[in-house]
Amino acid sequence: MRQKSRLKNEPIVLTLITQGEEIPLHINKRFLTVCKKSIAPGQSAELYKDQHFLLTYTRLANDARIFHLQQHYGDQTFDLRTLTLCGELFQIDNHDKSVQVSGLENIAKNMVFREFHIPSLTFNTPCVLPAIGAREQAYAAIRSMNLVVSAKDLKENSVIKHLAKEGVVACQVANRRNVSMASTVPRNLDQGDCTPSTMLNLDTAQRMLWFNNNAVSRLRSLYHHLPIDFARSACLNVAIGHASTHPSSSILISHTFQHVPVSKELIQALQDSVSDVKPSSKIQYLDRKGSKLKVSLFKASDKCQNLLRAHKLNVRRGDAFMSIALDGTPILTADIDMGVLPTYDADFETKPDTESKYNKQESIKNDLRRRMNLHAICVYHHTMQPALHILVRAATSCPHFFPPVSSPGLDIWASKQAIAYD
């Protein structure tokens, strides 16, 4: 416990390199927390100050936060960097490229980590996926995305190698140019790129997940053949689904975050099936106002599973858990047979990527659709799971707007924030 406490209170270190000299600036996490709680809109505070450098924190009326790093030369003051944090999006403006600064994004991460909450999203239209029950259907869905992977990925990942052999993905040759999807080179946040980036990921959700270890363990039992992060992602999906507003006459399949059309009679029957049942576990979360809410996870009885099966919601293996969203929508968490799952009528034809280059919102929406499809495919056909991170990276043209690891609920939340920010 003492070691954990020390790690918790370790300072955030900003590293500056100027004229060949490396200078660390230690930012007190506790004081940052005090500022977060005590600084009112329009007020500022000094987070760090010495004879050469000054870092100030300012809270704006729209609840955006500004961190301004400056350098002193005699009587003159020069701007170095500005970190702007708006919700879970952050942006770093580089005012002086002669000075290298690293670590500012850790301030944004710390703020989001301490303020992590579950949003209330509104789904005016259902989240839908193409047919992926058969492996050939899954291959066809991936093939339509025109994904290009690197030669290194092809060499190091046996699943990618097989997909390339089957013509599902293409390999990027050394001199290929103008590839529409994301580069495999990590983005350097200190090179003057002022594009906003999201801080949403499983790391910043850790505090919420720590309090829900029991629920994560329950969900893990359904998908023991998948990495533990999948169960954590499913836990977040249930919480986001619980807080959100869904299309009428639908239920939510939580692990893929897709809506399935069902009758109002089935919805009422599912609601009744858990009305007087003791929950197997609960998921706790904070909403945007800081209020604590709880989602009950009910183990679906044999009668409930028979009811689901009668409506083509077949559980392939293991148990199933049922929750009810705040708006009454049933949330089903189970290993569902995608081959017979009811779907909405929709056009899943992939638009040419060249069209989205000139429309950021469409590009973000296309990224989201591809990421969710790939996540569902690699979960259902779990032998493809080792290739998911490579496929998602190749399918994302705006990587700074999305979590580094695919998580449907966080992906949807991040995409809505990015579009609203625009």
111-165 pLDDT, tens per residue? 999 889 999 999 999 999 999 999 999 999 999 999 999 999 999 999 999 999 9
Percent of residues, the chain, with pLDDT higher than 90: 76
| pLDDT grade for 71, boundaries at 50, 70 and 90 | very high
pLDDT in tens, 54-70: 999 999 988 899 999 99
Three-class secondary structure assignment of the chain: CHHHHHHHHCCEEEEEEECCEEEEEEECHHHHHHHHHHCCCCCEEEEEECCCEEEEEEECCCCCEEEEEEEEECCEEEEEEEEEEECCEEEEEECCCCCEEECHHHHHHHHHHHCCCCCCCECCCCCCCCCCCCHHHHHHHHHCCCCEECHHHHHHCHHHHHHHHCCCCEECCCCCCCCCCCCCCCCCCCCCCCCCEECCCCCCCHHHHHCCHHHHHHHHHHCCCCCHHHHHHHHHHHHHHHHCECCCCEEEECCCCEEEECCHHHHHHHHHHCCCCCCCEEEEEECCCCCEEEEEEEECCHHHHHHHHHCCCCEEEEEEEEEECCCCCEEEEEEECCCCCCCCCCCCCCCCHHHHCCCHHHHHHHHHHHHHHHHHHHHHCHHHHHHHHHHHHHHCCCHHHCCCCCCHHHHHHHHHHHHHHC
Q: Is the pLDDT of residue 37 over 60?
A: yes
| pLDDT grade for 8, boundaries at 50, 70 and 90 | low
171 and 311 inside one domain:
yes
279 and 410 inside one domain:
yes
pLDDT in tens, 223-238: 988 999 999 999 999 9
* Domain that includes residue 396, residue range: 118-422
What does the pLDDT average to over 288-316? 94
pLDDT in tens, 182-204: 444 444 555 545 679 999 999 99
| pLDDT grade for 350, boundaries at 50, 70 and 90 | very low
64 and 126 inside one domain:
no
Domain count, the chain: 2
For tokens 């002669």, the residue is 98
Residue type, 86: C
164 and 219 inside one domain:
yes
71 and 209 inside one domain:
no
200 and 274 inside one domain:
yes
Residue type, 349: E
Which of 80, 114, 148 lies at the terminal end of a domain, its last residue? Answer: 114
Which of 52, 79, 114 lies at the terminal end of a domain, its last residue? Answer: 114
Which of 65, 99, 114 lies at the terminal end of a domain, its last residue? Answer: 114
What does the pLDDT average to over 278-304? 95
| Spatial separation of the C-alpha atoms in residues 419 and 422, rounded to whole Å | 5
161 and 81 inside one domain:
no
83 and 204 inside one domain:
no
347 and 318 inside one domain:
yes
Q: CA nearest 285: which of 224, 227, 332, 244? A: 244
67 and 133 inside one domain:
no
What's the pLDDT score for residue 79?
A: 96
For tokens 């492996």, the residue is 135
292 and 366 inside one domain:
yes
What's the pLDDT score for residue 194?
A: 64
What does the pLDDT average to over 238-265? 96
122 and 94 inside one domain:
no
For tokens 């000139």, the residue is 358
